[in-house]
Amino acid sequence: MHFLVTGGAGFIGSHVAERLLRDGHRVTVWDDLNTFYDPAVKRANLTSAVQLGGSRFHFVELDLTDAPALTSAADGETFDQVIHLAARAGVRPSLEQPALYQRVNVEGTVNLLETLRRTGCRKFVLASSSSVYGINAKVPFSEADPIFQPISPYAASKLACEGLGHVYHHLYGLDITMVRFFTVYGPRQRPDLAIHKFASLIQQGRPIPVFGDGSTRRDYTYVDDIVAGVMACTERSFGYSIFNLGESQTVRLDELIGHLEVALGKRAIIERHSAQPGDVPVTFADISKAQAQLNYRPTTRIAEGIPRFVDWFLGRPSSP
């Protein structure tokens, strides 16, 4: 099959592209290589895909907000499925640039759906986020929970994308699967995310900023488990469906720091700050639907995943 992976030069996208190539598929990646973090890092993320894929891999530098460019890139292409991972990511940066997040995430998704619908592509897997749950008093979070109170521009943009997915399924009969990711980590994690940022600061002997008292809890999910869940979504039709992809266990922030200290062999210097707007106290995935319909079985717990991440971070030969 021929897959289009948007955002395929990013953290999750590059792992997805590699998995598809290992499974024998053709892969085209669209990515704008924006400067949210160093584009050279994103280009390096594609190294394995280039080596694995050969003529089965094709990269196009492309901005999804440029509708004519999308039309041109899709001209003459036949994509069997689309895995849409491209987005402006992160809760805190979205507080500073809310219009940018809406333009890239919402307008970009509309442009993609419109362009590929006209080419005859019928199956899409679209990335959403656990942030759509907002401050949800009920845990673990279920796909059936009401989600009408996002608390960041990023969360609102992902909620809008879920709505667009339903619209395109309803109006045009597209097969749309939404996947809500829960705090993904592992090799190639973005440098702005907590695990990568903390590891870098601990290694340098610099203070790490901790917002709040360290009691916030996240459902940290290893990237290999996320990729397995995404692959399962490509294997059959679901009409319109939403799946949580998480580890279904929570880890306190101070416990996470402890795991990093052990793996790095260094003590963290903690710099306390007050809690930030847009942050939620807990994320916790109910994965029973994904277990039942995708046979989703995450296997990498935090005590195993953090040392794997640190191996990659330190450039050890055993890195995945």
For the annotated catalytic residues, the residue numbers are 154
Residue that the structure tokens 């935090």 belong to: 302
CB 126 within 8 A of CB 176: yes
Give the CB-side neighbour count of residue 226, counting CA atoms within 13 A. 32
CB 229 within 8 A of CB 290: yes
The dihedral region occupied by 232, where left means phi > 0, alpha psi between -120 and 50, and beta the remainder, is: alpha
Chain-centre distance for alpha carbon 202: 25
- Distance separating alpha carbons of residues 307 and 299, to the nearest angstrom: 15
- Distances from the Cα of 319 to the Cα of 260, 266, 310, angstroms: 16, 20, 8
Helix, strand, or coil here: 209?
strand
CB atoms < 10 A from the CB of 116, how many?
24
Q: Spell out where 119-230 has E strands.
A: 123-129, 175-181, 184-185, 207-211, 217-218, 221-222
Token readout for 238 is 């679901």
Token readout for 182 is 């829960």
Strand (E) or helix (H) holding 273:
strand 269-273
- Distance separating alpha carbons of residues 4 and 303, to the nearest angstrom: 34
**Nearest one of 298, 194, 319 to 246, comparing CA atoms:** 298
